[in-house]
Amino acid sequence: MSRIGKRPVELPSGVSASLSGQTIEVKGPKGTKSFTATDDVTITVGDDAVTVEPRGKSKRARQQWGMTRTIIANLVHGVQNTFKKELEIQGVGYRAQVQGQVLKLNLGLSHDVDFPIPEGITITAAKPTELTVEGHDLQQVGQVASNIRDWRRPEPYKGKGIRYKGEYIFQKEGKKK
């Protein structure tokens, strides 16, 4: 049995959920989010909780069970709070700044990188070497943070690049003479 799937998703005050077929819609103070589940699970909406049950005992049904419950929990959290990813930029001359809806990155390339900020995401640069990506959709926040990181991944010899805050980069030893 799925340890995650069998736990109900609690609906805090101010958050409501409605079910239409396999599509669940969650409304809260920050907006409305919806998710369409596969036919392998059954979703039931109660007064103060949402429960997910698998249909049958197939492997796919058991896989979808925990994943569906987690996605619904993220929807409930997203309509009430924001998700946040923090990035650090390390390297001489590497910096970032936000200008309107564009993130400008100086990463040691022959040109500056202009990264357009997608709808529903806010990026702030408290310092030129620290970025914060925030939004109400966990998948979108993680994807945007990953796309920014892909411009200059941390390299293992000097550790230069864009990394998640708190990420450990294994430092390799260079050539010896």
Q: Which residue has the tokens 């907006």?
A: 31
Q: Domains for the chain: give ranges and CATH numbers.
A: 9-78 (3.90.930.12), 83-164 (3.90.930.12)
Q: What predicted TM-score, i.e. pTM, was given to this entire model?
A: 0.84
For residues 33 and 79, is the Cβ–Cβ distance under 8 A?
A: yes
Whether 147 shows a pLDDT value over 90: the answer reads yes
Least reliable range by pLDDT among 123-127, 144-148, 173-177: 173-177
Binned at pLDDT 50, 70 and 90, residue 4 comes out as confident
Whether 31 shows a pLDDT value over 90: the answer reads no
Number of neighbouring beta carbons within 10 Å of residue 21:
9
Q: Looking at beta carbons, which pairs linking 60-67 to residues 24 or more positions away fall under 8 Å? A: 62/2, 62/5, 64/37, 64/38, 64/40, 65/2, 65/5, 65/40, 65/41, 66/2, 66/3, 66/4, 66/5
Binned at pLDDT 50, 70 and 90, residue 159 comes out as confident
Q: Could you give phi then psi for residue 138, rounded to 5 degrees?
A: -60, -40
Taking the C-alpha atoms of residue 71 and residue 44, their distance in angstroms, rounded to an integer, is 15
pLDDT digits (tens, 9 = 90+) for 50-95: 999 999 888 998 889 989 999 999 999 999 999 999 999 998 989 9
Closest CA to 145 of 133, 130, 136: 133
Whether 140 shows a pLDDT value over 90: the answer reads yes
Whether 2 shows a pLDDT value over 80: the answer reads no
For residues 85 and 145, is the Cβ–Cβ distance under 8 A?
A: yes
Binned at pLDDT 50, 70 and 90, residue 1 comes out as low
Whether 99 shows a pLDDT value over 70: the answer reads yes
